[in-house]
Amino acid sequence: MEHKKYNRIVALSVFGISLITYVLTLSPTVVFWDVGEFCAAAYSLQVPHPPGAPLFLLIARVFGMIPFTPDTAVRMHFISALASAIAVMFLYLIGVRFIIMWRGKPETVLDRIQVYGSSAIGALSLAFSKTFWFNAVEAEVYGLSMLLVSSILWLGLRWYERADWERSDVYLVLIGYLIGLAVGVHLLAILALFGVMLLVYFRNYEFSLDSFVKFGVVSVLVFGLVYPGVVKYLPSLLDGEFGGNRSTIFVLIPIGALLAAAYGVYYSTKIHNRTLNVALLSFLFIVLGYTTYTMVYIRANANPPMNENDPSTMGRLVSYLNREQYGTAPLVDRRWNKEPEQAAAHQKYTSDFDYFWRYQMNHMYLRYFGWNYIGTEGDWKEAGVKWDRLFALPLLLGLFGAYVHWKRDPRMAFVATTFFIVLGFALVLYFNMQEPQPRERDYFYVGSFFIFSMWLGMGVLGIVDWLREKLPKGENQALVTYGALALALLVAPVNMARVNYHEANRSGNYVAWDYSYNLLQSCDQDGILFTNGDNDTFPLWYLQDVEGVRRDVRVVNLSLLNTDWYIRQLKHGEPYGAKKVPISISDQDILRLGPSPFEGGEMELAVPEEVVRQYSVEGTAATLLDTSVQKSGKLRFYFPPSLRIGNVNAVRTQDIMVYDIVRTSAWKRPVYFAMTVSDDGKIGLREYMHLEGLAFRLTPRRGQAYWANINEAKMGANLFTDVEKPSKTPQFGFLWRGLRDSATYYDEDVRRLMTNYRQAFLLLSYHYLNALNQPRKLAEVMDRMEEVIPRSVIPMDYRTKAYVANFYNVAGSN
């Protein structure tokens, strides 16, 4: 009883420390990457990118309705904070259980302090590790996924200890249910099945090579039954398709299998076959947990504004679950992607194995491992490992802990190592990542960091054991134990918290919300806004779907514009009463779209007479309408190819669609391109785009130079107007919250994004100087830029510094 009492007190303390830390460093609103998409999807139960995360969305929807804080995104971030803190607590409990298995329950106060303290140090090391902490403060799936993995392992150990109890099978059935639920969060969690199968083996069989190999085969078959069996083949069979063949008979197979399993549960109970009973019950509960995916199918048929891949039929749901949008990476061929950028990167490696070891294993896994237990040299992309951040002390403790575990209890060490391998090295093989990646991928491997942190705690225990063995019994034993634990606490979790706190702390960072707001407010009423990728799209979806900001603007993502389902949704959808995106291509022809051979050539856009009159009288001498447009009523431009397929030039589907949307809109609605869109996404129309904030507006007026392509009135109104309260309708003025706070951390993505703001100020300055001949305005613009984006918070690169210095010099000389 004493053990249970104090063990639970320490567990709750570890949980409390972790939760408080995560809440204090929680993101105050929406952030970049997938978070904005998930929050928007959860708010009204929409369909995010494949393969979705329906259980996460359902939980986030519930949390989003609880008004414990005004910001909806924060309510959803709290899921990750809470789930991660519970996972840390489970790591502590798992560490204690593993230690007790070889050491026995601690009887004396000193033994309890040693066992509980060592396990707590390991758990807190995970809590304050770079990757785990980052995942814990934003509404992503990895915190909840780790909660499920840790719960499965803890339940497996619980079953192992109580397997002789007549009702112990309930633990295995519950594990089956959690595995089914885990599919609705992230597929990585189902890999925990291998560790659980090992626990079953070691509990029921004496080790021998023959029995181990047989059980290994059974484990692979069981895993195959879950994935791809249940996850992929069950929906496919229900759609009447298997192996490329279609038949109504296929539909009967899963139905018959489920009915047979249900009868098998009854029959096995009747004949007292416990093994068959628990196996069939676990299978049924896996399927039951997997039914969270019915939400995807149901909501897709409701046609919500976000309905990615449109999985409204069983066939499309199968495609959605299989992530067919992203293609399939082979397991054998390491350098499989032959796209030009990837093919060029592959030339750095002498063989597939060289590529696998140097890039996939060393750069894309071991480097991340080093980040967490050695230290990182910085927060920039491709940052390496820096040994003097943590001095590799957590790494050494973890390696020693793994040695201690293997020495004291090889069977349970084998279980832990299996978890470590399948959640780390095996994923490297499976993902087969191609160079370059758009972002760092350390979050994929947090499961292996989970196990290593447990070993870190065992390393501390092993050191204390060794010290106590070397000293005579007495007061020195207590002193050494306390001293060693205190020192380990300082060199591992405390030092990790010190090193990682600044980068993990998201409090005060409003950049994603404000940038998205400013981008939307750069557009006139009913504008069509082309965006480039995740970070200039997902937060905009959040603002429109959750906050109701500028729902009149139709956001068109260029990457998704290469898919037929997205084009059809733009053409027919009217989200929140917004107007349809004008598209002239028929639905049948949309299905046939794809990259098309195109050598480039002159194209035309008709310009109505009223538009010609409007732009003939507006602007400066450098920006007045071309006489050719005035005479012919047509805008002519060179449309370049954007692809090279073999020896043939071509254009992408997105280029075809951009041209069609621009042409079909016929100047009746304003068309914008975000500043983040590169010139190859503008189909040759860059000269006709004028900056109106953070977006370029398409006009029939060609600027004579880059500094001429500015709408000075709107730029000034946006950059110089302070917004007291955000507006859901069109309003001039930008938000700059937190950018003057030097205590707020801004990562590389944010710092890079800030160049767009500064670029807007610089272009406005060039416009004042060259187009309007008003050099005195330069100092005013530069002062405003420094006021809202001070260099002390967001450093300038050397080029920007040179421009600023030159502008101040010109302003002063006049």
**Residue 622 reports pLDDT greater than 50:** no
At 625 the pLDDT is: 66
Tens digit of pLDDT for each residue in 412-435? 999 999 999 999 999 999 889 998
Residue pair 800/785 in contact (Cβ under 8 Å)? The answer is no
At 344 the pLDDT is: 85
| Mean pLDDT (whole number) for 94-123 | 94
Residues 725 and 773 in one domain: no
H/E segment holding residue 751: helix 748-766
Tens digit of pLDDT for each residue in 27-70? 999 999 999 999 999 999 999 999 989 999 999 999 999 999 99
Q: Last residue of a domain, which of 732, 764, 792?
A: 732
**Residue 161 reports pLDDT greater than 50:** yes
At 172 the pLDDT is: 95
**Residue 621 reports pLDDT greater than 50:** no
Structure tokens at 357: 């070891």
Residue scoring higher pLDDT (626 or 234): 234
- 648 belongs to a structural domain: yes
Which residues are CB-contacts of 240 (< 8 A; sequence separation ≥ 6)? 246, 247, 248, 250, 251, 314
At 646 the pLDDT is: 81
Residues 671 and 748 in one domain: no
> Which pLDDT band holds residue 612 (cuts at 50, 70, 90)?
confident
> Which pLDDT band holds residue 263 (cuts at 50, 70, 90)?
very high
Strands annotated E in 176-263: 241-242, 245-246
| Mean pLDDT (whole number) for 133-151 | 96
In percent, how much of the chain has pLDDT > 90? Answer: 73
**Residue 814 reports pLDDT greater than 60:** no
Tens digit of pLDDT for each residue in 391-408? 999 999 999 999 999 999
**Residue 749 reports pLDDT greater than 80:** yes
At 624 the pLDDT is: 58
Residues 633 and 770 in one domain: no
At 682 the pLDDT is: 94
Residue pair 456/404 in contact (Cβ under 8 Å)? The answer is no
- 359 belongs to a structural domain: no
When divided into structural domains, the chain yields a total of: 2
- 573 belongs to a structural domain: yes
Residues 605 and 693 in one domain: yes
H/E segment holding residue 489: helix 475-489
Residues 726 and 618 in one domain: yes
Tens digit of pLDDT for each residue in 527-548? 999 999 888 899 999 999 999 9
Residues 700 and 742 in one domain: no
Residue pair 785/736 in contact (Cβ under 8 Å)? The answer is no
Radius of gyration (C-alpha) of the chain in whole angstroms = 30
Residue scoring higher pLDDT (7 or 472): 7
- Domain with 517 in it: 511-732
Tens digit of pLDDT for each residue in 703-727? 777 677 888 899 999 999 999 899 9
Residues 614 and 720 in one domain: yes
| Mean pLDDT (whole number) for 168-172 | 93
Q: Last residue of a domain, which of 710, 732, 754?
A: 732
Work out whether the CA dihedral 522, 526, 532, 536 comes out positive or negative. positive
At 447, which amino acid appears? G
Residues 723 and 813 in one domain: no
- 373 belongs to a structural domain: no
At 195 the pLDDT is: 93
- 297 belongs to a structural domain: no
Q: Last residue of a domain, which of 732, 753, 773?
A: 732
Residue pair 224/231 in contact (Cβ under 8 Å)? The answer is no
In percent, how much of the chain has pLDDT > 70? Answer: 98
Predicted TM-score (pTM) of this structure = 0.93
| Mean pLDDT (whole number) for 284-297 | 95
At 15 the pLDDT is: 98
| Mean pLDDT (whole number) for 739-743 | 91
Reply yes or no: is the peptide bond before residue 438 cis, omega within 30 of 0.
no
Which residues are CB-contacts of 129 (< 8 A; sequence separation ≥ 6)? 372, 373, 449, 453, 496, 500
Residues 534 and 644 in one domain: yes
- 426 belongs to a structural domain: no
Q: How far is CA 327 from CA 320, 344, 544, in A?
A: 11, 20, 30
- Beginning with the edge strand found earlier in the chain, give each strand of the sheet holding 648-651 in spatial order: 596-597, 648-651, 643-645
Structure tokens at 243: 């192996």
- 363 belongs to a structural domain: no
Residues 592 and 539 in one domain: yes
> Which pLDDT band holds residue 615 (cuts at 50, 70, 90)?
confident
**Residue 740 reports pLDDT greater than 50:** yes
Helices (H), 505-626: 511-521, 538-542, 564-572, 587-591, 609-617
**Residue 5 reports pLDDT greater than 80:** yes
At 154 the pLDDT is: 97
Q: Give the CA count within 13 Å in the CB-facing half-sphere of 13.
A: 11
Residues 684 and 757 in one domain: no
Mean confidence (pLDDT) of the chain? 92
- 466 belongs to a structural domain: no
Residues 658 and 782 in one domain: no
